[in-house]
């Protein structure tokens, strides 16, 4: 059973769940993977905590983690990139494997033989400051490039717009910042905040094939992991 430590934000969790379902070969309900999902919206802002301006989100995430564990999760995913700053601390507190969103992306890129390329990263200030993508991708042979300071401020503004439900305004901003990363030499651009695919889902044209969706990559990794072990059958 897949455990989803979600709610960061809530619509990003819904997007992730949809990607798990669409990536599962199934002809009826019973072919699908069982999930237990905590949409833990009260987890304090992750970026604020990384930038030393907010409450520690770890206790609330641990609370949700323990509920997932008690519910029988055998594999856990966190559809929030910034929350991965606490991945090590969370993993240390449970025997249930927590798949890492950047590892899932690195695995997918490696499978395609793309080591050595430069990946543009559109992410929260917290994800960028914590080096979540830079360090993990560097170990796997990829370079990262981020927007400059004013571009990053725009990305952060767009992410907040998505969280507030104003997706259209966010789309315009994120499209521009993604194009800028491509113009700056990135072969591909990772939508490295789970709110971003919500705003760039409908993008078309030259940018589309250059966008990487770590939410989708994580969903695929979860499907592989869950289908590799027999599903718990209640009845």
- Binding site residues, a second copy, CB under 8 A: 7-11, 13-14, 17-18, 21-22, 26-45, 55-57, 59-60, 63-64, 67, 70-72, 160, 163-165, 231-235
Choosing from 38, 75, 193, 226, the catalytic residue is 193
CB of 16 or CB of 142, closer to a second copy: 16
Q: Which of 38, 75, 80, 222 is catalytic?
A: 80
- 226 has catalytic annotation: no
141/159 Cα distance (integer angstroms): 28
Q: Which is nearer to a second copy, 103 or 195 (CB)?
A: 195
Residue closer to a second copy by CB (options 64, 102) is 64
Q: At its nearest, how many Å lie between a second copy and the CB of residue 2?
A: 8
State the nearest-atom distance from the C-beta of 234 to a second copy, in Å. Answer: 4
Shortest distance, CB of residue 23 to a second copy, whole angstroms? 11
Look up 55 and say whether it is catalytic.
no
Give whichever of 33 and 181 is closer to a second copy, judged by the CB atom: 33
Supply the residues annotated as catalytic: 80, 193
């Amino acid at each position: 059973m897949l455990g989803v430590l979600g709610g960061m934000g809530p619509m990003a969790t819904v997007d992730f769940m949809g990607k798990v379902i669409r990536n599962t070969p199934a002809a009826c309900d019973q072919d699908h993977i069982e999930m237990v999902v905590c949409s833990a919206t009260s987890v304090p802002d992750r970026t604020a905590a990384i930038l030393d301006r907010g409450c520690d989100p770890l206790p609330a995430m641990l609370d949700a983690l323990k509920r997932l564990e008690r519910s029988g999760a055998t594999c856990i995913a966190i559809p929030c990139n910034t929350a991965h700053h606490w991945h090590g601390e969370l993993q240390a507190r449970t025997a249930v494997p927590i798949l890492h969103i950047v590892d899932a992306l690195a695995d997918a890129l490696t499978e395609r033989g793309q080591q050595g390329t430069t990946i543009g990263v559109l992410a929260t200030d917290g994800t960028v400051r914590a080096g979540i993508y830079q360090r993990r991708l560097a170990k796997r042979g990829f370079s990262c490039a981020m927007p400059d300071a004013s571009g990053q401020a725009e990305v952060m503004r767009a992410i907040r717009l998505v969280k507030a439900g104003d997706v259209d305004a966010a789309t315009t901003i994120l499209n521009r910042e993604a194009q800028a990363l491509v113009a700056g030499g990135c072969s591909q651009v990772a939508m490295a905040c789970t709110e971003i695919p919500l705003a760039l889902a409908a993008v078309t044209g030259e940018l589309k094939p250059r966008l990487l969706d770590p939410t989708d990559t994580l969903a695929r990794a979860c499907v592989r992991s869950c289908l590799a072990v027999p599903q718990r059958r209640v009845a």
